[in-house]
């Protein structure tokens, strides 16, 4: 058996500044509010609804992320997304991000595995397939390219 990836859509997520929650000296827990965004692509278009969030636990330079938020498709259907992933970048890349410099996507690791839920018949395919994503930092926001595993 071979697995193939088919590009489905992109999610551009607008973020508020992260909130440091704490945890301990070897790890750091944060929450980043999701303020909105846009969904665009061949299989889905719509908007990211505000009031979701992304929880991150950083341990020794790698952040384990878990975001939960809602999408509203172009036809009005509401879609729940739970997106888990990992982010890792060198101190130099983080410095360049903080300075507002452009950083190539290949200079850091940002991958995810979104899971969708909806009872909307036109979008039921989202709840019936496995997805993976590649994400990139866009200033203070992120963009996620979502692929269906076929």
Segment 23-64, tens digit of pLDDT: 777 889 999 999 999 999 999 999 999 989 999 999 988 999
CATH number for the domain spanning 40: value is: 2.40.160.20
CA-nearest of 55, 59, 54, 56 to 27 is 59
10 neighbors 137 (Cβ within 8 angstroms): no
pLDDT tens digits, one per residue of 49-108: 998 999 999 998 899 999 999 999 999 999 999 999 999 999 999 899 888 888 998 999
Q: Which residue range is the domain that position 34 belongs to?
A: 5-149
pLDDT at 100: 85
Tell me the per-residue pLDDT of 112-125, one tens digit each, with 9 for 90 and over: 999 999 999 999 99
* Number of structural domains the chain divides into: 1
Please report the sign of the dihedral spanned by the C-alpha atoms of residue 49, residue 11, residue 144, residue 115.
positive
């Amino acid at each position: 058996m071979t697995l193939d990836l088919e590009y489905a859509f992109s999610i551009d997520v607008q973020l508020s500044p992260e909130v440091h929650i704490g945890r301990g000296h070897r790890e750091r827990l944060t929450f980043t509010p999701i303020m909105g965004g846009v969904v665009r692509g061949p299989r889905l278009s719509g908007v990211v609804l505000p009031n979701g969030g992304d929880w991150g636990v950083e341990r020794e330079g790698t952040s384990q992320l878990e975001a939960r938020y809602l999408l509203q498709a172009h036809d009005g259907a509401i879609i729940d997304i739970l997106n888990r992933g990992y982010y890792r970048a060198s101190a130099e890349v983080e410095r360049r991000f903080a300075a507002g410099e452009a950083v190539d996507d290949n200079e850091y690791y940002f991958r995810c595995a979104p899971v969708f839920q909806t009872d909307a018949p036109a979008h039921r395919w989202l709840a019936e397939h496995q997805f993976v994503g590649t994400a990139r930092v866009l200033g203070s926001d992120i963009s996620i390219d979502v692929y269906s595993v076929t």
